[in-house]
Every structure is written in C-alpha cells, then in structure tokens.
Amino acid sequence: MSEKTALAVACEQLRIAAEKLNLQTELHEMLRHPKRSLVVSIMVRMDDGRIDVFRGCRVQHWDARGPFKGGIRYHPNVTLDEVTALAMWMTWKCAVVDIPYGGAKGGVCCNPKEMSRGELERLTRRYTSLLLDFIGPYRDVPAPDVYTDAQTMAWIMDTYSQFKGYSVPECVTGKPLSIGGSEGREEATSHGVVICAREAAKLLGLKLKNATVAVQGYGNVGWNAAKIAHDIGCKIVAVSDSVGGIHCPKGLNPYKIYEHKSKTGSVINYKGCINITNEELLKTRCDILIPAALENQITGTNAGEIKAKIVAEGANGPTTPEADKALQEKKIMLIPGILANSGGVTASYFEWVQNLTREHWTLEKVNNKLETKMVKAFNDVYKTAKQEESDMRTAALMLGVGRVAEAMKTLGLWP
C-alpha cells in the first residue's frame, strides 16, 4: 500500500484533532482549506541566454492569530499539495508555541544544485516581484527552508525594499546579521529540537551524558542538531544526507563530519565509519533519533524497526499516521515537528520584533527567550497529552488547532 501524500497526512491529523476537540463542522471545514493559494510562472534568463520558466507557489493557510509566516523552499519535487500541507502545519506550529502568526509556505520547483548563484538570484527576485502584493511585514513574512538560506532572504528583502523605496528588514526573517538578522537564528530550529529531546529525556529518566543520537539529514537543521547535542555531552553515532549516511558506534565528531561534507559533497566515506543508507539510519539503535530531512521518512513499513527511545522531529511531517500508531505501540516517545522544530519560527518572531523596533538583541537574550518559549510549549503539550490520555502529536495538534479555532470563532465571519 502506498503512503499518503503530505496533504493527506495533514488533513488526517486535522480530522483527529477536530474530533477530539468536538470542533464545529464549519470550523473544521474552514481549517481544511487555505485562505489563499498563489501559483506563479517565474521566467528566468539563464546564464547561457535562454529563458526558463519555473513553477512557483505561496500558500497562506490562516491568519486569525497574526500575519502569515513560513519558509520558502527550492526543490525539484515542490508541489502545491505539499506546500499546502506545510502551510497548515505552520499554522498549528505557531499556535503551539504561542506566537502571533498564522501559517504559510512557499516553494519553487527547481534544482538549485544545478543552478548558478546568478540564476538563483534572478529566480528569487522574479519570484518576489510576483508575490509583492501578498507579502510584507504585516501580511506574510517569508523565511528560509529547504535549499534556501540567509542570502536568499537578503535578495527577497532587497527586492521588496526597492519596490517600497526604503529599507524594510522586517519583511523577511532568517537574514544575514549585517542587514538585520538575529543572533542565534541559524541554529534556532536545531536548538529547539535538542531542548525538546532534553525535556523528554528527563521524563524518561534518560541521562543526556553519552546518550546515543542518530540524525537523518545534514543540512542546516541536522548538522546544527548534531553539533548542539554533541556539545552537551551526547554521542552522535550516525548521520546522513541526501546521498547516504555513516554509522560509527564509538561516536562521531559532527564538526569534522561537516568539514568532510563541505569538501566532498556528502557525509559518506568518512574514515573509520560504515556507509549506510538513509533507511538504515532510521533503524539505528540509539536513544534519540532526529529525522531532519524530508516528509514521510518513518512509515508504516519501517516504524516497527525503529529502535530509539525518543524521536524528535527536526523535519516537517517525517512520520506518517500509520507510523505514529506503531511507535506508540512500541512506547517510543515521539515529539512532533509542530512542537520540536518550532524553535526556528520562534527565533524568526524574535527577529521580526527586533526589526520592527530597530533593536538588536544579544545571543544570550535570544537563547534565554527561546529556552523559555520551548520549555513552556513542551510542558503545555505534555500536560494536554496526560489530560487527554493521548500521544504527544495528538496533544500538540489539539493545542494548536484549538487555539486557531478559538481565534477564528472569536473574530467571526465577515461579511
């Protein structure tokens, strides 16, 4: 049986939460559909002089609690359905961590690995110009996602600002520090994942000193999660990227692995390690598993072979509903992405606030605020799970969906 699409998974999760909350049918139906979906054709002059047309989109789910917020990804497999699911998850995520945003997501179907810096800049600026009437500090604030970064955000900020006629740093987050970016933003998603894993470990009586950790994905979230976990005393035993992975039961130095990947293009073939597949990494015997790659990685097919005590989702939607049930039966504590990886959007909120007030906070202040937000969100979800006698994902969904539904109900429907 084929696994469900990301959108089917998101809708199924919403259905479960709606049933648990006894949500009005009308509210459930409204939350199933995004407020706005934009599809654009991005015409880019390539380095060889020809003009290519790329398909882009931006989905704005619901903004009852504040401006839309969500990343932009560049990937060959971007689809409108996938972006819609991600926008929906962003809505719940912002509500779970209790920041005043609604959810959005954007994407361009392209292969950035095969494009030059100039082509990516022209693509980004053209895409921004096509979305100009629908984004902005109080409407929709983009951020980096898969294969986009601080430089991408700088191009978006500059394009938006050129149209406005003055600098608008608060129109986007995840920017370089030199143009209004926030201290700690690059590591914030990973920092949040590790904070949640730490809080879960406390509940399970698991000591983090020498706790074994496997990380799927060695992009920004995966590598920083491995680095932060290593720095607090965990033992990193396996990591992977899109090419493959490596396993070393004695432990890895994530900094050296990052250097190796930077030189060779992948973590594989690292001296003293065994090459493994991404599928094998998920089945690695460890205390904490951090899936930080793409959606639908832990499925009904492989969930029974997961050997971790804690699964902390660094990626969005890496676990299917079928896998959720299997992990629950195995008494594996799963920390859902709408909680575990909400550190990124929380730090984005901090950056936005700093930009609006033209302040710049210290790294210590940012990290202290992030710690407070993440610990409270974790405890809120855990308390709900205990009260409802449910798993952590259902509890997080109930908390997030419930807060958004309450805001929508309070605002009413106009006209």
- Residue 281's domain is classified under what CATH number? 3.40.50.720
Q: Supply the range of the domain harboring residue 196.
A: 187-340
230 plus 321 within the same structural domain: yes
206 plus 279 within the same structural domain: yes
Q: Which of 340, 367, 398 is the last residue of a domain?
A: 340
Least confident of 58-62, 206-210, 260-264: 206-210
118 plus 201 within the same structural domain: no
Closest CA to 65 of 32, 102, 36, 28: 102
* Assigned domain for 389 exists: no
271 plus 303 within the same structural domain: yes
**What's the rounded mean pLDDT across residues 268-293?**
95
**What's the rounded mean pLDDT across residues 244-266?**
95
Closest CA to 312 of 204, 196, 229: 196
110 plus 236 within the same structural domain: no
DSSP H helices in 245-306: 254-264, 278-282
CATH number at residue 157: 3.40.50.10860
115 plus 204 within the same structural domain: no
* Assigned domain for 101 exists: yes
332 plus 223 within the same structural domain: yes
123-178: per-residue pLDDT in tens? 999 999 999 999 999 999 999 988 999 999 999 999 999 999 999 999 999 999 99
80-120: per-residue pLDDT in tens? 999 999 999 999 999 999 999 999 999 999 999 999 999 99
Residue 1 has pLDDT above 60, yes or no: no
150 plus 247 within the same structural domain: no
* Assigned domain for 298 exists: yes
pLDDT at residue 321 in the model:
85
96 plus 135 within the same structural domain: yes
Distances (CA, A) of 249 to 216, 252, 253, 288, 289: 16, 8, 12, 14, 14
Closest CA to 257 of 229, 280, 287: 229
Q: Which of 292, 312, 340 is the last residue of a domain?
A: 340
Would you tell me how many other CB atoms lie within 10 Å of the CB of residue 385? 19
Our CA dihedral for 192, 196, 201, 204, rounded to 10 degrees, sits at: 180
Residue 2 has pLDDT above 60, yes or no: no
**What's the rounded mean pLDDT across residues 385-401?**
95
CB burial string 152-175: b at 16+ within 10 A, e below: bbbbbbbbbbeeeeeebbbbbbbb
| Structure tokens given for 347 | 């730090």
d(CA 378, CA 10): 21
* Assigned domain for 404 exists: no
End-to-end CA gap in the chain: 45
Edge-to-edge strand list for the sheet holding 333-335 = 274-276, 245-252, 235-240, 212-216, 288-291, 310-312, 333-335
Count the alpha carbons within 13 Å of 302 in the hemisphere toward its beta carbon.
Answer: 18
Residue 68 has pLDDT above 90, yes or no: yes
Decide: pTM greater than 0.85: yes
319-360: per-residue pLDDT in tens? 988 899 999 999 999 999 999 999 999 999 999 999 999 999
Residue 75 has pLDDT above 50, yes or no: yes
Question: What does pLDDT average to over the chain?
Answer: 95
* Assigned domain for 370 exists: no
pLDDT at residue 128 in the model:
98
Q: What percent of the chain has pLDDT over 70?
A: 99
Q: Is 270 exposed, middle or buried (0-12, 13-18, 19+ CB in 10 A)?
A: buried
Q: Which of 293, 324, 340 is the last residue of a domain?
A: 340
Does residue 295 or residue 114 have the better pLDDT?
114
**What's the rounded mean pLDDT across residues 34-45?**
98
pLDDT at residue 3 in the model:
62
Of the residues 93, 105, 283, 309, which is catalytic?
105
d(CA 402, CA 400): 5
148 plus 85 within the same structural domain: yes
Q: Which helix (H) or strand (E) holds 346?
A: helix 343-357
195-239: per-residue pLDDT in tens? 999 999 999 999 989 999 999 999 889 999 999 999 999 999 999
* Assigned domain for 160 exists: yes
Catalytic site residue 105? yes
149 plus 49 within the same structural domain: yes
* Assigned domain for 56 exists: yes
Q: List, in order, residues 6 or more apart from 81 with CB less than 8 Å away.
A: 5, 6, 7
* Assigned domain for 8 exists: no
330 plus 203 within the same structural domain: yes
Rg (CA), the chain: 20
Maximum CA extent, the chain? 66
Number of domains in the chain: 2
Pairing of strands 245-252, 274-276: antiparallel
